[in-house]
Structure 1
Amino acid sequence: METSAPLLGEPLPVELMNTAWADRDGVHDALRDPGGVRAWLHAVSARTGFTAPDGPDCPDGPVDLTDDELGRFGDRLVGLRDALRRLAAEVTADPRPAAASRTRELEAAVTALNRAAGESPHWSVLSWTPGQEPSRHTRSHGEAGSAAVSALAEESIAFFAQDARNRLRACLAPGCVLYFVKNHPRREWCSAGCGNRARSARHYQRHRPGTA
Structure 2
Amino acid sequence: MSAVSAPLLGEPLPIELANTAYAVRGEPREGLDTVEALADWLEANNDRLPWKLSPQDLAALGDFELTAARELRDAIRTVASAITDDDTDGAAPSGGAIETINHHARWAPQWQELQWEAEPAARVRSAAPPVTATFSYIAQAAIELFVRQRADLRACQGPGCVLFYLQDRPQRRWCSAACGNRARAARHYARHR
Equivalent residue number for residue 83 of structure 2? 91
Q: Does 1:80 align with 2:65?
A: no
Q: 1:47-98 CA distances to partner (integer Å, 9 max, x unpaired)?
A: 1113xxxxxxxxxx43442545343222111111100000111111079xxx
Q: Following the alignment from structure 1 to structure 2, what is the Cα–Cα distance between the partners of residues 3 and 10?
A: 15
Q: Which runs of 4+ in 1 moved over 6 A?
A: none
Residue correspondences, number: 186
CA distance in 2 between counterparts of 1:23 and 1:185 reads 26
Extract unaligned runs of 5+ from structure 2. Answer: 88-92
1:147 equivalent among 119, 125, 133: 133
The residue aligned with 2:45 is: 44
Deviation at 1:173, TM superposition (A): 0.9
After superposition, residues 6-25 of structure 1 pair within 5 angstroms as: 6-24=7-25
**Shift in CA distance, 66/196, structure 1 to aligned 2, threshold 3 Å:** closer
Q: Distance in 1 between matches of 2:62 and 2:14?
A: 19
1:84 and 1:66 map into 2 onto residues whose CA distance is 23
Paired with 2:8 and 2:77, the residues of 1 have a C-alpha distance of 16
Percent identity over the alignment? 40
Name the aligned partner's letter for residue 86 of structure 1: T
CA contact (8 A) 1:38 1:70 kept: no
What CA distance in whole angstroms lies between the structure 1 residues aligned with 2:86 and 2:4?
A: 26
Task: Give me the CA root mean square deviation.
Answer: 2.1
Larger Rg: 1
Distance 1:94 1:122, change over 3 A: same
SS of the aligned residue for 1:177 comes to coil
Kept in 1, the 8 Å contact 2:158–2:179? The answer is: yes
CA–CA distance in structure 1, aligned partners of residues 121 and 16 of structure 2: 21
Does 2:187 match 1:202? yes
Match of 1:124 in 2: 112
Shift of 1:142: 2.1
Separation of aligned partners in 1, 2:144 and 2:53: 23
Query: What is the TM-score normalised by the length of structure 2?
Result: 0.86
What SS does structure 2 have at the residue aligned with 1:106?
coil
Task: Show the counterpart of 1:110.
Answer: 98
Is the 1:138–1:151 Cα contact (8 Å) retained in structure 2?
no
> Gaps (5+ residues) in structure 1?
51-60, 96-104
Any conservation in 1 of the 2:39–2:58 contact (CA below 8 Å)? no
Aligned-partner Cα distance in 1 for 2:4–2:31: 7
Matched, 1:62 2:53: yes
Q: Check if 1:156 corresponds to 2:157.
A: no
Shift of 1:192: 0.8
**1:125 is paired with a residue of what secondary structure?**
strand
**TM-score normalized with structure 1 length:** 0.79
CA contact (8 A) 2:26 2:159 kept: no
SS at match of 1:184: coil
